[in-house]
Amino acid sequence: MDISPVTTAQSQSTTAATNSQASAVISSDFETFLQMLTAQARYQDPLEPIDSSEYAAQLAQFSMVEQQVLSNDLLTELSNRLGAGNIAEMAGWIGMEARTTAPVQFDGGPITVVPTPDPGADEAVLVVYNQEGSEVQRQQIATGTDPIEWTGTAPDGSELPPGVYSFAVESRALGEVIGTTTASSYGRITEARQQGGETMLILSGGAAVRTSDVDALRDAAPMPLEEPV
């Protein structure tokens, strides 16, 4: 998704138009209120005139409602501006690689996986799942937290097809499984989107992640070249 000054200007123009319409409505309502108040004073019973304090109370009440409406409009405008600024800032992340636990796209190039085995483990296994959540590969790895490059190649030389994959680390001690943790991996950011009142990042492959769930960013690796047909 491209975010340009034109888009931001259009958003601000729309907000300004909305606020102008709201002000016009308030002005119209106030004129109507004054006309009703004037008619009430004109046709009141001369023998039982309305107390002037009642007029003052009605004017004060209308003024409070007017101020509340204006305050709500200002808060809405402020919220819109903050949201536009946030998503404009996130637009600078597009094209970079984010480290998250979300599924990532495998297109034949290596994927950097950051394992988090249990501290008490004496061996660890990287477990790979496909887009449907089915286990498709197991690979023995070191028990440390150093990043590894997953190439999609099994020990027997077979290769997994391109697609969306996620990773977990199965920790073992004395031959027994003591825990399984989700492993982080790097995925390319393709879009920044406002969703449910917060900014979401869309990764290659379609996974949506909150910006708060991204714990690292790096420049994206060059896209693999397609072989000529």
Residue 25 has pLDDT above 60, yes or no: no
Task: Give whole-number Cα distances, 211 to 4, 53, 81, 90, in Å.
Answer: 20, 56, 18, 9
For residues 16-25, average pLDDT: 51
pLDDT in tens, 99-155: 999 999 999 899 999 999 999 999 999 999 999 999 999 999 999 999 999 999 877
When the pLDDT of each residue in the chain is averaged and rounded to a whole number, the result is 77
Residue 12 has pLDDT above 60, yes or no: no
Q: Read off the tokens for 126.
A: 């990287």
Predicted TM-score (pTM) above 0.85: no
Phi-psi region at 16: left, alpha or beta (left = phi > 0; alpha = psi -120 to 50): alpha
Cβ atoms of 113 and 184 within 8 Å: the answer is yes
CA dihedral 9, 11, 14, 20 (to 10 degrees): -80
For residues 36-41, average pLDDT: 70
For residues 189-206, average pLDDT: 86
